[in-house]
Structure formats: structure tokens, C-alpha cells
Structure 1
């Protein structure tokens, strides 16, 4: 089935693994959870020897286990969970994995935007049915959040701070009272949440000030801040994991040389250091320089090599993809990258003559010149 989907949700992609974990899980489970808290952690972070499982479970999210454990404990309580962090830190992926492991449904999602309304959180009406038969439960269209309430499962709210304050306020009664009133109906006009219902929301820390959360809503969420991955080993694991998925999905047989992966990781680390030392925002790239953006750069380079190259990933192609992905403001970002290439990449290529750094230097220069 997964081959027929452009992107299968986690509960479909890892269905066989989840079935097996559920079959061997005899630990107590909160509410109607499909897995125990410890097994949810194992599904997300991978198995260890101390788990004494008959098969290895590969990690799917790479980060400090305390973030995962606190998230699981929050969902086992009656509070909502808010994952907050910079773009590309894996908040949405962690939310999806948590929902998949806990209730085998990660698709009850509301996407927060300026156009999100209260109807997207509560309910709307099937106009044709209302005209024909009047307002009733049958003519009501429940939101993903209301569906999660009725099923006692996890509902997700992506980019909470992108939605307006009145939309955010609609969550307050849901999180505190655990029901939604339907005043248009005379009877059967309250939808109660069943045990197991909770909400996982995500928020971009760079959106602070767009639509700040009220103190009332903040009190109803436990905050888990997901930091940018700066550990090279962890970041390399994430990039390898995502790249392997990409190659499988596109059925591409192409090797990513370890030296090129090291160059990508080092370049992003140097750019982050330069951004941290910058005196103003004008001296920083608009890009968040996240692990997700590294994966995007590598994906672009792989696909370019597959379709327009000789199916060999080269340093020049990787550099061109990196410049093309990180330049979002012109001429500001171009100027920053030009200085970076001359001040950091060029000296490094001279120190390691004959290494892929030389090709990386040349590819980046050509890309910058093309965009200038």
C-alpha cells in the first residue's frame, strides 16, 4: 500500500513494526493507548539492549530522549502538548510519530494559517443536508479536533501561532472542559471527549510576535522546546536516515560519499557559527540553517545528479544545490555566501589540496556568479 502513496503517514509506513510492538507489549497503557509509554519511546527512539526485544527497532527521530519522554508523559495527563522550536527541528515529525504510536492515527491535523477559522477547530455544516433536512448531527461536519475528541485519540494542530487569537481561544474550552457545545442543536448538542483525547500542537519559535499565545492557553499546554541539532554525530545520523528514505522512495541507486556528507555538515556548522557572531540580522542568512535544510540541499543534489548528471554525486553539484537553496534574499544572502565562500571555503580547500573541498569551492563560486 505504501508504494501507492506519495507520502505514507507513520502508522501506515511502520504498520508491521507497530503491530509487532503491540503484540509483545504487556505493560500498562493509559486510556485507550495502543502502546505503553515505554514502548512508544522505543518506537520513536529505537530499541536498546536493556529492552530485551527479539528484534531491533530502528530510531526514527534523533534527539535527546528527555524531550520524547516529557512529551509522552504530557499526553498521558490531561494537558495538551506544545512542541516549539526553530524551523526544521523535527517538531512535526515527532508529533506524527507520537500520534501514530499512541492511537495509530496521525492524520487528524489542523494546519494553522491566517485563514484558519474556528470552524476548522470545532465543526461546520453540510449546507445541502441542512437545506434538505435541517440542522442535525448528521448534517454536521466535525473538524479533525472534534473527530479526535469523539474517538478518544490524538488531534494535531500545526503552526499554532500562525492562526489568529480568536482561533487559538477556541482551543481553551476544548483543552479545559473537554467538550464542544453545538448551540444550533436543541438536543444532543454537546460533544464530549473520550478518554485518550489530547492535542499535540507545534509552534515555530521564529514566529514569536505573529500571534502570541494568551496566558490562558499557555497554561493548558506543557511546553517542550526542541533545539536545533548541533551535535555532528546526531546530525549525520538524521541526514543519512532521511537520505536513505529518499533513495528508496525514488528507487535511486546512488552512493553519497562520506567525504561529501562531512563537507555539508561542516559548511552548515560554519554558517551557524558565522550567524551567531553576526552583529545584526542583515549579516545573517534568512535560512534557519536547520538539519531539514541540509537534507533538502542533499536531496536537490542527488536528484540533479540522477536526472542531469552521470548518476554520481559530486562536490560541485552539492555546492550549487547549497547556494541555490540558501539564497532567498537578493542581494543580501548572495553577499553573505560570497564572503563565506572566500573567507571559509577557499582557505579550507587550500589546506586540503586534492580533496573534494576544491570542487565544492568551484561549484559554489559558479553558482554565486550565476545568481549575481
Structure 2
């Protein structure tokens, strides 16, 4: 059997060489059992510049205001949980993963919040076969990712906190407050205490407000860091280029993304966001959040289509078809909005600016007609 690479390695594996390098030169004070000092955690996430005095480059991995990263790091150095909240696609989960990778070299202790998430996902469950054979013991217990993080003094992650029910949120209050979990089924060795360095990074989608509201008690146990939608064109370009380069490397695809097509993608999303802000009702808005993550999804779709079904050249027609296919989720509402955009914005722009807008216009029209 040959060694196989995972479909997507966690950040601590992908950037292991950088983390090893930063750890080897780190002389700064480290909270608890942290692998890197707060200053080098920030450098790992935001990249190094000349003033940092490093003898090798450290790539920027998260693109946003440095104050958000610094506040997140300071929170995790305290005894409070960190809640990253914002619209879909703003990089909350990616920032949480990078923070955990830099602090404890393990970003995989994750619980996904859903309507089906139970208290067992936060604490523990039992290996039934072992319980039948040997009875209840620590050996037959299956610790949750959060309990594992507690016992090891590392970072536990909780994705989509507002998707979890109130019972699960209440269990999280106890963990954040008391810093231990009791196991009433055991007579001895029945408490798991959180070790120094343990903390929780949770994420919440601001569009899910009202699904399962966070209680005041739970809110008090978190420091909130609100991650805004990226609207700066330069920052958004850097994010899309970074993630696209990663995609091409992962798929081992050699394909150039023309700067003109990247500009068209960014401009189209900016136009559609402006239209959504000017809309008078939800029916006049695309269901899509029009996030940077969705831009990356459009570009990924176009790249893979060009690689497998085209001539391995990314063309404006393919990009347009991918954009329509990705954003047209409701029929006929989203198609009508996209059709209005294509006629009212893309068509005049294709006449004024020339290629590749005319090809983008044609590709979008064909895609809308096919889906109508």
C-alpha cells in the first residue's frame, strides 16, 4: 500500500515547515503550553515583513485587519472562549484553524454544530462493546474532541454554534465556566479537568441569527470578534489568488488564471452586491451571500471544467457559466436577477470595454437560457 495524501491536510500539516521554523527561533513569552508566542502566532497567520527580521519568507494565510487576529490571540491567552462571528464566507473557520494550528499544532479537535448535535458531542460517549465486555471505565469511554482538547490543554473548535440546540449550548456554558467535566457513571477517576492552554474557538454565522439564539450566560463566556465581509478589492484579489494557487497545487493542475478574468469575477461580485444593497425586498436579492468564498467556488468550478472538459485554458465563457451555475439557486427568482444583471450591466460593459466582456456576456446568456 502506498502512502496517500489527504484530500485537504489541516493547516498544521500543510505549513509544518513554517511552524517548525518559527518554533525553532521563538524566544518570546508563551502563555500556558503554547507552541508559539503570540507575536509569532500573528506572523504565522498574517505573514512576515522586513521589519520582523526573519531570514526566510512566511506567507500570509488570512487576509483581513490585523486587529481581528491580535484580539483573537489575546482572547485565547486568557481564560475566555473566542467567538468568531460574521457572514458566510468571511474566513471565520479558516482563521480558527490557523489559530489552533499555530498555538497547539492540532486544529482537528472540531465539533460541528447542527440540529442533531447532542451533549455527547461535547463531553463523551461509550464504546458499547467494551462496556458489555468489561464494564464502564475510562478505557471504554469515547471522549469528544472538546474533552480531548481539555485533557491535552489544547484548542477545541465548535463550528456553527447558533445551529446547535439550547441543551448543547448549556453544556458548553458548564465547560467554559467550570473547566472540567464529571463522569457520573464512574466511581473513581470520574473528573476530567481542563489543562492549562485549553480554550474553545467557536464560529457563528450572522445570517443564522434567530435559529438558536445564544443565551446571555453563554455570550458572557465568549469574547466576540466580528469578521466583516471583505469589500476592499485589493484584499479580495489577494484572497482569491491565494486560494486558487492552493487549489491548483492540490489538484496538480497547470493552468493560468488571466488577470483580466479575475478582474471580471471581482467586478461582477461587486456589482451584484451593490444591486443587493439597493434591493427593496429579499425577492430582489440573490439567495447567495456573494461572499469571497463563493467567488473562490466559482473560479474553482471554472478551472476544473476547463481542465477536464476544455482545452486547459480558462475562458470568459466558462467563467460566466460557472458564475451563473453557482449563484442561480432559486428558480425563477435568481435567474431573473442574473438575467437583469447580464442585460443591464454586462451588455453595456461589453460594448464599452471590449474583450473579454463580450465572451463573458455570451457565456452568461447561454447558461441562463439553459437553466430557464
Could you say which residue in structure 2 is the equivalent of 1:253?
254
CA distance in 1, matches of 2:55, 2:334: 51
Alignment of 1:344-355 (within 5 A): 344-353=345-354, 355=355
Could you say which residue in structure 2 is the equivalent of 1:198?
199
CA distance in 1, matches of 2:11, 2:3: 10
CA distance in 2, matches of 1:358, 1:121: 53
Could you say which residue in structure 2 is the equivalent of 1:275?
276
Could you say which residue in structure 2 is the equivalent of 1:23?
24
CA distance in 1, matches of 2:18, 2:213: 39
In the alignment, is the contact (CA less than 8 A) between 1:2 and 1:13 conserved in 2? no
1:4 offset after TM fit, Å?
A: 1.3
CA distance in 2, matches of 1:334, 1:174: 47
Given the alignment of the two structures, is residue 44 of structure 1 paired with residue 9 of structure 2, yes or no? no
CA distance in 1, matches of 2:361, 2:228: 30
Alignment of 1:45-84 (within 5 A): 45-84=46-85
Task: Please list the CA deviations of residues 240-273 of structure 1 after superposition, one character each: whole Å capped at 9, or x if unmatched.
Answer: 0111111111111111100000000000000000
Q: Please give the secondary structure, in 1, of the residue aligned with 2:345.
A: helix
Q: Please give the secondary structure, in 2, of the residue aligned with 1:156.
A: strand
1:137 offset after TM fit, Å?
A: 1.1
Could you say which residue in structure 2 is the equivalent of 1:107?
108
Task: Please list the CA deviations of residues 10-50 of structure 1 after superposition, one character each: whole Å capped at 9, or x if unmatched.
Answer: 00111111001000000000000000000000000000111
Could you say which residue in structure 2 is the equivalent of 1:182?
183
Could you say which residue in structure 2 is the equivalent of 1:262?
263
Q: Please give the secondary structure, in 1, of the residue aligned with 2:197.
A: coil
Could you say which residue in structure 1 is the equivalent of 2:360?
360
Given the alignment of the two structures, is residue 223 of structure 1 paired with residue 224 of structure 2, yes or no? yes
CA distance in 1, matches of 2:3, 2:171: 36
Alignment of 1:98-247 (within 5 A): 98-247=99-248
Instruction: Return structure 1 stretches of 4+ with deviation > 4 angstroms.
Output: none
The CA RMSD over aligned residues, in Å, is: 1.0
CA distance in 2, matches of 1:111, 1:251: 30
Instruction: Give aligned pairs, total.
Output: 371
Given the alignment of the two structures, is residue 10 of structure 1 paired with residue 11 of structure 2, yes or no? yes
Could you say which residue in structure 1 is the equivalent of 2:296?
295
Task: Please list the CA deviations of residues 259-289 of structure 1 after superposition, one character each: whole Å capped at 9, or x if unmatched.
Answer: 0000000000000000000001110000000
TM-score for both structures, normalised by structure 2 = 0.99
Q: Please give the secondary structure, in 1, of the residue aligned with 2:82.
A: strand
CA distance in 2, matches of 1:183, 1:112: 25
In the alignment, is the contact (CA less than 8 A) between 1:160 and 1:202 conserved in 2? yes
1:131 offset after TM fit, Å?
A: 1.3
Could you say which residue in structure 2 is the equivalent of 1:370?
370
Could you list the runs of 5+ residues in structure 1 that have no partner in the other structure? Answer: none
CA distance in 1, matches of 2:136, 2:251: 48
CA distance in 1, matches of 2:286, 2:3: 37
1:134 offset after TM fit, Å?
A: 1.4
Q: Please give the secondary structure, in 1, of the residue aligned with 2:85.
A: strand
CA distance in 1, matches of 2:126, 2:297: 40
CA distance in 2, matches of 1:118, 1:47: 41
Task: Please list the CA deviations of residues 334-355 of structure 1 after superposition, one character each: whole Å capped at 9, or x if unmatched.
Answer: 00000011111111111113x1
In the alignment, is the contact (CA less than 8 A) between 1:275 and 1:283 conserved in 2? yes
CA distance in 1, matches of 2:146, 2:154: 9
Q: Please give the secondary structure, in 1, of the residue aligned with 2:125.
A: strand
TM-score for both structures, normalised by structure 1 = 0.99
Which moves more between the two structures, 186-195 or 73-82? Answer: 186-195
Q: Please give the secondary structure, in 1, of the residue aligned with 2:223.
A: strand
Task: Please list the CA deviations of residues 294-349 of structure 1 after superposition, one character each: whole Å capped at 9, or x if unmatched.
Answer: 00000100111111111111100000000000000000000000001111111111
CA distance in 2, matches of 1:343, 1:2: 53
Could you say which residue in structure 2 is the equivalent of 1:342?
343
CA distance in 2, matches of 1:52, 1:367: 51
1:2 offset after TM fit, Å?
A: 9.5
Q: Please give the secondary structure, in 2, of the residue aligned with 1:4.
A: coil
